[in-house]
Structure 1
Amino acid sequence: MKIVNVNFKYLWVFLVFISCTLFSQEQKYIPFRKGNLWGLCDANKFIAVQPQYYSISWYDESVRGFHAEQNGKFGIIDSNATIIMPFISDKPITINGENYLVFDGFDYYNYSIKTKMRLDKYIEPERYPIRDRGWGTGITTNIGEPKEIKLTWDDLDDEDLEMIKPYEDENAYQINFKANFLEIVSKDSHIGIYIPKTKRMHKSTSEIAYVGWQFYNGKPYILTTNSSNLFGLADENSNQVYPIKYASIGLIDGSGLVVLSEPDQNNPNNLIYQTIFPNNKILEGQFFPEGNVWRNGHTFRLYYKMVNGLRNYAGEDGTPYFEG
C-alpha cells in the first residue's frame, strides 16, 4: 500500500514548547483545589490555607501575594499565607505606584499598602492622541500575517546537497523546504524527510510516512503518520516510541513533559488528553509549564492544566494539587 495524499492538517500539533519560568524565592505555596474550593499548600501537600475560596491565582510578584476570591470580592494573601488585603475589590487588586488599586464596583480607589486604609479616588491620567503630540506620521501600514520561517538552498552544505541529489529530478520528485527539514514527495507517494541538523534521511515505507521531527532531551524524534491521519513517534533509528494512534503529540523540551491526545471514541469532535511527567507518571489532561516553588530546600517544578477556566497544578513528580 502506498501512502498517497497524506493529510498534514494536524501536523502543527507537533510543537516545540519553550518554558520561560520565573522563580521567586518567596514562592513556597501552591494554589490547592478541593472540590470547588481553593486554598494553599506547600509542595509536600501541607495545607497552609484551608480550601474556602472561589479561586486563588498563581503567586503575583507585583503584589507580593496571591489573588483570592470570596463571595465575588478579591483580596490578597501573602507569601506567608496571611491575608494582607481584605476582600473588598470587585476585580483583582493591582499596584499603582506605592498604593493598591481597588475597584468598588463603580470607581477605582487608592489604598495604602502600609495601612490598608482607603485614600483618594484614582483619576486615570489623560491620554493625548498621538498625532496631537506631534508623533503621528499620517501613514498607516498593514503588516499582515508573519511569514513562515523555512530553510532555503543557502542553508544546505555540501553533505546536504549530496544526500538529496538523487531527488533533484523535478519530473519525478518535489522537494518542499520546511522550518527544520526537507520534505520529499513524488506524484503518487510520500518519499520521506531529510534533516540537515542530523544529516539523516528518513524514508517513508508503504505503511508509514515520516513527516516532522524535534529534539527532546537532547535526542531527535521523528513524527510518523499513515492514511489514518493519526500520529506516532519514532527515534532517530526509526524504532517506534509511540504507535500511530494519536491526534497530537506534544514534546515540551526543557520541561520533561509529553502531552498526548487521542480521539474520543464516544465523541468524534472531542480529544482525550494525557500528560506524561518526567518520572513517567501519567495524569489526565493537558499540562503546561508554570514555574517553581521550594521543596525541601530545592527548587521544584510545577505544571498546570485548565479546569473550568482555572489553573490546576501538579508537581514535576506527578503529584496533583487538586482533589475531586
Structure 2
Amino acid sequence: MKKIYLLFLLSITTVFSQNAKKNELLLPYRDGNLWGLCDTLGKVKVKPFTTGMVDFMTTPPNFKGKYVIKKNGKISIIDQHKRTLLAEMNLDSVKMYPFSKDIYVYKNNKIGVIRNFKMLIPVQYDEISLTSNQSYVVEKGGKQGLINSKGKQLIPVAYTTIHESWGENENSKKFHWVAENENNDGEENEVGFTDSVVLVDETPEWYGPPVIGMKIQVTEEEENRSKSIGEKYGEVVSFSINRNSATIDMYIVKMNDGYGVYSVDQDKIILKSDESIEVCGMNNGYTTFLMKKNSQMGLIDETGKVLLDYEYDTIEKEWMGICMLKKDNKKGMFVLNSIYKPVKPKYKEIKILEAIPVSESWQFGLFEVTTEAGKKGLLGENGVEYFKN
C-alpha cells in the first residue's frame, strides 16, 4: 500500500466566492478553524468558509489551483471559482501531482486512479505503477496485471511480473508487453500482449527532482593543487564545486589559527574563521559558507558579504537550498537564491512542503509551521503566514 502525505489535515462545508482573478495563485488560508483562500502576500481573496480543506495543487499549463475538500467521509475537488471538478466520492484520501492528469484515490487500503476527473481504474488494487505508454501495472494479492491508457484491462491480474518486450518493435503503431509466471519446475512462462502506441508528452525541462549532489572526477591537477595548498596553509578538509565546469573552485583548509577558504581563481585565502567553515550552496551566483564566530553561526558568501549575521545557535542546510535557523530553541529559515528576507526564529517546528509551481520558470516555496502554542499553519518563503489563530 502506497502511503499518502497530505500538506495538512482539516474538514469542509460550502463554496467559494468569485473574487479570484482568472490565473491568480491562491493558497489555503486558515482563520481559527475555518479555511478560505489568500494570495502569496496573505491578502484574503475568499473569506474563510469551511472546516475541511485537506490538500491542494497547482498544475500546468494554466497553474490554477485545485482544492480537495472532505465532508462527512466524502471527498470532492473544486477550483478557486467554486466550480466542481470532482463530485463527492466515498474515499479516504486522494493525492495529486504536478504535470499529471492522474489523481490517485484511496479507500480501505486500496488504490485507484482518476484521470481528467473521471474514474479510470477502480479503487480495488494494492499497488498501481504508471509505466511508459501511459499504461498501469496493477497489483492485487501478489499478482500483477496491466490496464492501458483507456482504462481497458489488457493483461489479467495473474502474473508474477510484467514488462515491456525486449525485442525490436517492427510495427511503430503497436506496443508489446510481456507477462511472466513461474511453473512448478521453476521455469518462466512468458505470454505476449499488444496494445496501441500512446505518445507521451515530455515533462518540461525545468521541472524535476532537486539536485542533491554532484559527482566529479578529481583530476591529477586538482590532487596536486590540494597537496600544494595543504603544504602552504594546512590540511584540506573539504571543497566546493563549480557547477558550470564540474571542477573544484574552492578548498576549505584547517589552519593553525582556525579555518580558511582558498580560492583557485584568486590563488589565496579569501575567508577566515576562528572556529569552523562549511560549504552551504550557491546564492545568486556566489558560493556561500556556514561560519562560526564566538559559538554563533552565520552565513557568508565568497565576496565576504554577510547574508546572515552571527546570531544563530545552529544553521542547518536542507534540500532545495533551504537553511534552517535555530536560536533559543526556536526555528526560522533562509532560502538561498530567494528575493525574500530571512524568517526570524519564532516557530516550534518548520516542515518543508513541496514547492508550488506558479509558472514555467518559478516555483513558490511553501512550509508548514508549528507555533509555540502548538497550532499548525502554512508559511510562504516570503515569510507571510497564511493563518490566524
Please give the range of the TM-score, normalised by the shorter of the 2 chains.
0.5 to 0.7
Q: Is residue 304 from structure 1 mapped to residue 305 from structure 2 by the alignment?
A: no
Q: Is residue 58 from structure 1 mapped to residue 62 from structure 2 by the alignment?
A: no
Give the corresponding residue for 1:92.
94
Alpha carbons 1:221, 1:236 under 8 Å: kept: yes
Q: Is residue 212 from structure 1 mapped to residue 213 from structure 2 by the alignment?
A: no
Provide closer, same or farther for how the CA distance between residues 320 and 130 of structure 1 changes in structure 2, counting only shifts above 3 A.
Answer: same
- SS class of match (2:236): strand
**One of 165, 170, 189 as aligned partner of 2:228:** 165
Provide closer, same or farther for how the CA distance between residues 307 and 86 of structure 1 changes in structure 2, counting only shifts above 3 A.
Answer: farther
CA shift, 1:248, in A, is 0.5
Alpha carbons 2:75, 2:91 under 8 Å: kept: yes
Provide closer, same or farther for how the CA distance between residues 47 and 239 of structure 1 changes in structure 2, counting only shifts above 3 A.
Answer: closer
Alpha carbons 1:59, 1:66 under 8 Å: kept: yes
User: Gaps (5+ residues) in structure 2?
Assistant: 1-21, 126-137, 145-158, 163-178, 189-211, 242-249
TM-score under structure 1 length normalisation:
0.58
The amino acid that maps onto 1:261 is: L
What does the per-residue CA deviation read over 1:214-264, in whole Å, with 9 as the maximum and x for residues that have no partner? 331123333211473x421234344544333320065998xxx87452232
User: Gaps (5+ residues) in structure 1?
Assistant: 1-24, 139-145, 265-269
**One of 289, 293, 296 as aligned partner of 1:222:** 289
In the alignment, the residues of structure 2 paired with residue 109 and residue 214 of structure 1 have an alpha-carbon distance, to the nearest angstrom, of: 40
Give the corresponding residue for 2:387.
322
In the alignment, the residues of structure 2 paired with residue 108 and residue 306 of structure 1 have an alpha-carbon distance, to the nearest angstrom, of: 27
Give the corresponding residue for 1:4.
none
**One of 32, 44, 47 as aligned partner of 2:45:** 47
In the alignment, the residues of structure 1 paired with residue 367 and residue 298 of structure 2 have an alpha-carbon distance, to the nearest angstrom, of: 23
CA shift, 1:73, in A, is 3.5
Percent of residue pairs bearing the same amino acid type: 16
Please identify which structure carries the higher strand content. 2
Alpha carbons 1:109, 1:122 under 8 Å: kept: yes
Alpha carbons 1:231, 1:244 under 8 Å: kept: yes
Provide closer, same or farther for how the CA distance between residues 290 and 200 of structure 1 changes in structure 2, counting only shifts above 3 A.
Answer: farther
In the alignment, the residues of structure 2 paired with residue 311 and residue 93 of structure 1 have an alpha-carbon distance, to the nearest angstrom, of: 20
In the alignment, the residues of structure 2 paired with residue 291 and residue 59 of structure 1 have an alpha-carbon distance, to the nearest angstrom, of: 7
TM-score under structure 2 length normalisation:
0.50
Alpha carbons 1:73, 1:87 under 8 Å: kept: yes
In the alignment, the residues of structure 2 paired with residue 155 and residue 263 of structure 1 have an alpha-carbon distance, to the nearest angstrom, of: 42
Aligned length: 270
**One of 288, 310, 315 as aligned partner of 1:244:** 310
Matches within 5 A, 1:132-147: 133=180
- SS class of match (1:168): helix
Higher relative contact order by CA 8 Å / sep ≥ 6: 1 or 2? Answer: 1
Alpha carbons 2:334, 2:341 under 8 Å: kept: no
Provide closer, same or farther for how the CA distance between residues 71 and 237 of structure 1 changes in structure 2, counting only shifts above 3 A.
Answer: same
CA shift, 1:192, in A, is 1.9
- SS class of match (1:92): strand
Alpha carbons 2:52, 2:69 under 8 Å: kept: yes
The amino acid that maps onto 1:90 is: D
Alpha carbons 1:190, 1:204 under 8 Å: kept: yes
**One of 120, 126, 129 as aligned partner of 2:160:** 129
In the alignment, the residues of structure 2 paired with residue 201 and residue 47 of structure 1 have an alpha-carbon distance, to the nearest angstrom, of: 52
In the alignment, the residues of structure 1 paired with residue 279 and residue 101 of structure 2 have an alpha-carbon distance, to the nearest angstrom, of: 51
